[in-house]
Structure 1
């Protein structure tokens, strides 16, 4: 039995099936995302969603969905499903679903009378091409299939509505057609592995609704254009493959291409393999450069997220070459930033003060998980350049103060990972001496000094060590309070006493200004006030402003984003700190904590981990359906556990 399997009872119950989403990507920025019953509930959902750099920096929904109809004895059974006004769903094709499973590829089994039809979906790696294979498993009489494509040709940030500007022209291609709704878009090629008839009956399907957008306080209604339908007969045991793409293909190749793509997939037959598959989806290769997307379906490559996620997404699963390839692009982006040069690289938010320090941390993990000598050879010069850039005061928003600590201005612009803003101003104006920035700073000083100063002391590494000593004393004096935990930030006489998870990094990093007793005190208060089954809360329930539920319209969610919601990626660092303190005796506790995430494999976006969770029971998943740092830190924690077991 498949690890990710849902039976008829769940699939036909829309309250249970609609919240469960499915995501597939081509590792080059394009994706397919919908619910497991193929009813789109977000404006980001679609069968073929691709970047079109000639238009803008967003993804675009070309093919929203493909409705299938089974025809026997003149009777039509439509397998599609769309939501319309008034909680009306049509044509309610989910009632024919017998089961859904997702081992290597998403597979849906439909039963219509004596007909049993299997549908399998796959995205071709590094090509803007979605494939769907239909196999007629059972039939007692002549069976015909009809396919009706729903087209959008719009940005994921917008909607399409009925208009007279649509280009209704189409051109016949082998076993299909090509069409393009608007100038500037590429042609959409819709082809089948079998010859068919295309019937041109253009029409708009009006008032399709997206309930997830309605929940989030956004517009949620659009019209979709249907140019007509394809029709063909199918025999028992026969497979027919559909291709939706921006380039043509020889139909004779489709069956073989589908089979070869399936062979390349890792089965999602256990918790770790689901996470590995999810990790692969964040890789984004474009124009010869490699990136890590922060999440799906709306995030781009954010520098901080990339550096935090890289060790877990790649090193923890022994994909060292992929790590190095992404770092090659990242290094270009780092130098472009440090030199103040314009760049076409799609790495965003490089200017945030902690980003370069997270780059040091990710190289440090490469050192530990791959090779110390390779880290020094590949990245030693970069590390020295980063530290020199910071020490020389060239960062636009980071000052090395006389006491050795780093100071950053976050009053008017959010500069930390707690980055929610309202009316252009940060909800949490973390500014001055920020606790995790300075934990990263101390760790970077010590690590780079150790790496570059081996065997022969030199003036540069001596300078780093001397500064690290000063930072250690100042860190304790500035952040450690009388209750044994760390202040979140300090700016002059302003001290934030809120109990937040940002202190946990100081206990987790290889180099810390805290002694063993102080680290334990930090871990203990995090355990007591912030730990949940789904990550660390962003704020303690005992602190003012606690708001654990990420629900409602944009403004309401912005105020809740970092005021009590739980984040799984933070727990990775917490569990690392816990293992440092309690060593082998911590293994069973860490394993129990990770088990709670296995439940998520069959919820929200199946096989992945969402962006965040409510901070109170039942700890419901929220935000982006798949989030890179969360997947990465769970994988890195599993890797740490394996090392303790060996």
Structure 2
């Protein structure tokens, strides 16, 4: 029995199946995404979506979809699905689907009369090439397959409208064709493993609807160009491979290309291995550099997200090499920033006040896995350089005060992960002494003492230890209100809203709070913020509470951090809970994981989304696959089920 399997009843019901998406990536920035029934519901969906840096920083949809038609005795059965206005679907290929499952690759089984056809999809690693293998499992009479490509050639943030500037030239290539609809784009090569006939039959398909864009308040109808169709005969038991790429391929190599790629993949046999597969899809290789994407389908590499997710997406799944490659790329950029040079563009938002502290936290995880000696040898100088940079007041928006706390100006520009804006101004103006920044600062100071001690630099170790003690006392004096921690304090303004950021002061290895204070903070978070999908961003008791991530862009931005649940925060909560309750807390965290495992069959199959509504039924929203969500739940899973750490 497949871990991720859907039967006919759940697939033919479009109200259910169109809400469930699938994603495949090439680990170099390109992806393929659609729904379980291959009906695109977002402008970000597409069979082949690739970076085109010559045009913009966005990804671009080249091949939107590929409609298959089974032909027997002159009768045509179209397996495609497209939505048009007024909930009109044409064709209705979902009625032929018998099952879908996601093990090593995604696989759909269709049945049309006596014809049983399987369709398996995979993205070739580090190549802009998406491959589909079709196998005719059964047929009682001669069968022909027809393939009709729907072309877009546009940014993922835009929509295509019928026009007369399109280049409709078709170039013959081995077992296929190539086309380039607009200047500046790469050519799209569509090829098969066997000979076929391409029939020129150009048409615009107008008014294709993407209801998820409609829900988000955006334009939602698109015109797609279909240049014609491919036809080829296929026999019972025979397989053929289709390739869509930005370069040509030798047709006879397609089966081997497919098999070799399958051999690299993780089988999604359980929750852990499914999340492991999801984590690896965030890897990004660009030239000789390595990064971690923040999420799909619209996020790029964001420094904060990369450092928060790095341990869970690499070390937890025993990929030390990838951690070191990503951190090596990041280290070059960090050192450049510390020296006052321009920031390398592929690692966005490195200058944000909390990011360097999250980088130290990522390295601290490395020390947990591989020891302080190896960590100091590899990253010790980087850590001490960051600490020195902050202590010498060189950061543009981190100011070390005499009380040992870091002050940040967050009124005009978002300073933390709660970064939604309205007219360029932060919706939540977290400014002054910010709770998680100072918790991270105290933790970083204590960790740097370890590093300096390992380097046998006693003077620096003593200095940093003294600095940490000053910070610890001031942290309690400033943030502790007798029951929990203020979210931020700026002069006489102490923000009393119950938000999840204070969990970091309990969860981090070095906490400035005593045990009773830690427990008091944790108990309040458990009562008011904990849900089956993570922590709410604001207590329901607040007058500002807006739990649902719905409506226009402005409405969603206003709600973004004022009630919706973020799964990544469950990682810090689990750390805090196990710190307080030791081994007796394992059963509670196990139950928490159940809420995330149920998501494996929801918004995007086999991965975790960016956020959820703050009230039941806690529907998923935002990015269909989010690195911090996946990484932190992976980290919890390993603590509970694999490491069985001694607390």
Q: Fold-level match, TM-score > 0.5?
A: yes
Tell me how far apart the structure 2 counterparts of residues 476 and 443 of structure 1 sit (CA, whole Å). Answer: 14
Tell me how far apart the structure 2 counterparts of residues 17 and 645 of structure 1 sit (CA, whole Å). Answer: 40
Tell me how far apart the structure 2 counterparts of residues 320 and 101 of structure 1 sit (CA, whole Å). Answer: 30
Aligned-residue offset at 1:54: 1.4
Contact (CA 8 Å) 2:376, 2:454: kept in 1 or not?
Answer: no
Give the corresponding residue for 1:493. 492
Aligned-residue offset at 1:380: 0.6
Give the corresponding residue for 2:178. 178
Give the corresponding residue for 2:57. 57
Q: Which runs of 4+ in 1 moved over 4 A?
A: none
Contact (CA 8 Å) 1:309, 1:632: kept in 2 or not?
Answer: yes
Describe the SS at the equivalent of 2:589: helix
Describe the SS at the equivalent of 1:148: strand
Give the corresponding residue for 2:195. 195
Describe the SS at the equivalent of 1:549: coil
Give the corresponding residue for 1:521. 520
Contact (CA 8 Å) 1:530, 1:539: kept in 2 or not?
Answer: yes
Describe the SS at the equivalent of 1:205: strand
Question: Residue 236 in 1 paired to residue 236 in 2?
Answer: yes
Q: Label 1:457 to 1:176 Cα distance change in 2 as closer, same or farther (>3 A).
A: closer
Aligned-residue offset at 1:262: 1.3
Q: Label 1:493 to 1:198 Cα distance change in 2 as closer, same or farther (>3 A).
A: same
In angstroms, what is the RMSD of aligned CA positions?
A: 1.0
Question: Residue 543 in 1 paired to residue 518 in 2?
Answer: no
Tell me how far apart the structure 1 counterparts of residues 407 and 10 of structure 2 sit (CA, whole Å). Answer: 53
Q: Label 1:464 to 1:111 Cα distance change in 2 as closer, same or farther (>3 A).
A: same
Describe the SS at the equivalent of 1:371: helix
Tell me how far apart the structure 2 counterparts of residues 267 and 455 of structure 1 sit (CA, whole Å). Answer: 43
Tell me how far apart the structure 2 counterparts of residues 288 and 150 of structure 1 sit (CA, whole Å). Answer: 34
Aligned-residue offset at 1:457: 4.7
Give the corresponding residue for 1:566. 565
TM alignment of 1:346-361, pairs within 5 A: 346-361=346-361
Describe the SS at the equivalent of 2:475: helix
Give the corresponding residue for 1:274. 274
Q: How many residues align?
A: 645
Question: Residue 600 in 1 paired to residue 590 in 2?
Answer: no
Contact (CA 8 Å) 2:274, 2:607: kept in 1 or not?
Answer: yes
Aligned-residue offset at 1:255: 1.0
Contact (CA 8 Å) 2:210, 2:221: kept in 1 or not?
Answer: yes
Describe the SS at the equivalent of 2:410: coil
Give the corresponding residue for 1:336. 336
Aligned-residue offset at 1:55: 1.3
- Mean alpha-carbon deviation: is it higher for 453-462 or for 359-368? 453-462
Aligned-residue offset at 1:640: 1.8
TM alignment of 1:59-78, pairs within 5 A: 59-78=59-78
Aligned-residue offset at 1:455: 7.5
Q: Label 1:328 to 1:383 Cα distance change in 2 as closer, same or farther (>3 A).
A: same
Tell me how far apart the structure 2 counterparts of residues 84 and 340 of structure 1 sit (CA, whole Å). Answer: 53
Give the corresponding residue for 1:90. 90
Question: Residue 473 in 1 paired to residue 444 in 2?
Answer: no
Give the corresponding residue for 2:616. 617
TM alignment of 1:128-143, pairs within 5 A: 128-143=128-143
Describe the SS at the equivalent of 1:428: coil
Tell me how far apart the structure 2 counterparts of residues 51 and 500 of structure 1 sit (CA, whole Å). Answer: 37
Tell me how far apart the structure 1 counterparts of residues 413 and 342 of structure 2 sit (CA, whole Å). Answer: 22
Give the corresponding residue for 2:577. 578
Q: Label 1:374 to 1:455 Cα distance change in 2 as closer, same or farther (>3 A).
A: closer
Describe the SS at the equivalent of 2:109: strand
Tell me how far apart the structure 1 counterparts of residues 174 and 454 of structure 2 sit (CA, whole Å). Answer: 65
Give the corresponding residue for 1:422. 422
- Mean alpha-carbon deviation: is it higher for 461-470 or for 161-170? 461-470
Describe the SS at the equivalent of 1:380: helix
Q: Deviations over 1:34-73 (max 9, x none)?
A: 0000000000000000001111111000000000010100
Give the corresponding residue for 2:22. 22
Aligned-residue offset at 1:371: 2.6
Aligned-residue offset at 1:313: 0.6
Contact (CA 8 Å) 2:32, 2:45: kept in 1 or not?
Answer: yes
Aligned-residue offset at 1:263: 1.8
Q: Label 1:243 to 1:599 Cα distance change in 2 as closer, same or farther (>3 A).
A: same
Tell me how far apart the structure 2 counterparts of residues 454 and 68 of structure 1 sit (CA, whole Å). Answer: 63
Describe the SS at the equivalent of 1:410: coil
Tell me how far apart the structure 2 counterparts of residues 598 and 61 of structure 1 sit (CA, whole Å). Answer: 31
Give the corresponding residue for 1:38. 38
Q: Deviations over 1:405-427 (max 9, x none)?
A: 00000001111100111111111
TM alignment of 1:30-429, pairs within 5 A: 30-429=30-429
Describe the SS at the equivalent of 1:86: helix
Tell me how far apart the structure 2 counterparts of residues 451 and 645 of structure 1 sit (CA, whole Å). Answer: 23
Tell me how far apart the structure 2 counterparts of residues 463 and 227 of structure 1 sit (CA, whole Å). Answer: 71
Q: Label 1:566 to 1:159 Cα distance change in 2 as closer, same or farther (>3 A).
A: same
Aligned-residue offset at 1:343: 4.6
Question: Residue 509 in 1 paired to residue 503 in 2?
Answer: no
Tell me how far apart the structure 1 counterparts of residues 455 and 207 of structure 2 sit (CA, whole Å). Answer: 71
Contact (CA 8 Å) 1:333, 1:345: kept in 2 or not?
Answer: no
Tell me how far apart the structure 1 counterparts of residues 312 and 283 of structure 2 sit (CA, whole Å). Answer: 13
Aligned-residue offset at 1:645: 5.8
User: TM (normalized to structure 1)?
Assistant: 0.99
Tell me how far apart the structure 1 counterparts of residues 623 and 73 of structure 2 sit (CA, whole Å). Answer: 45
Tell me how far apart the structure 1 counterparts of residues 302 and 261 of structure 2 sit (CA, whole Å). Answer: 29
Q: Which runs of 5+ in 1 are unaligned?
A: none
Q: Deviations over 1:157-198 (max 9, x none)?
A: 111111111000011000000110011101100000010000
Q: Which runs of 5+ in 2 are unaligned?
A: none
Contact (CA 8 Å) 2:333, 2:344: kept in 1 or not?
Answer: no
Q: Deviations over 1:264-288 (max 9, x none)?
A: 2111111111100000000010111
Aligned-residue offset at 1:587: 0.8
Give the corresponding residue for 2:533. 534
Tell me how far apart the structure 2 counterparts of residues 56 and 464 of structure 1 sit (CA, whole Å). Answer: 45
Describe the SS at the equivalent of 2:644: helix
Tell me how far apart the structure 1 counterparts of residues 264 and 412 of structure 2 sit (CA, whole Å). Answer: 48
Tell me how far apart the structure 2 counterparts of residues 170 and 60 of structure 1 sit (CA, whole Å). Answer: 20
Contact (CA 8 Å) 1:584, 1:644: kept in 2 or not?
Answer: no
Contact (CA 8 Å) 1:25, 1:281: kept in 2 or not?
Answer: yes
Aligned-residue offset at 1:344: 4.2
Q: Deviations over 1:520-569 (max 9, x none)?
A: 11110000110000000000011220010001111111111000111111
Aligned-residue offset at 1:257: 1.1
Aligned-residue offset at 1:345: 4.3
Describe the SS at the equivalent of 1:146: strand
Tell me how far apart the structure 2 counterparts of residues 342 and 249 of structure 1 sit (CA, whole Å). Answer: 40
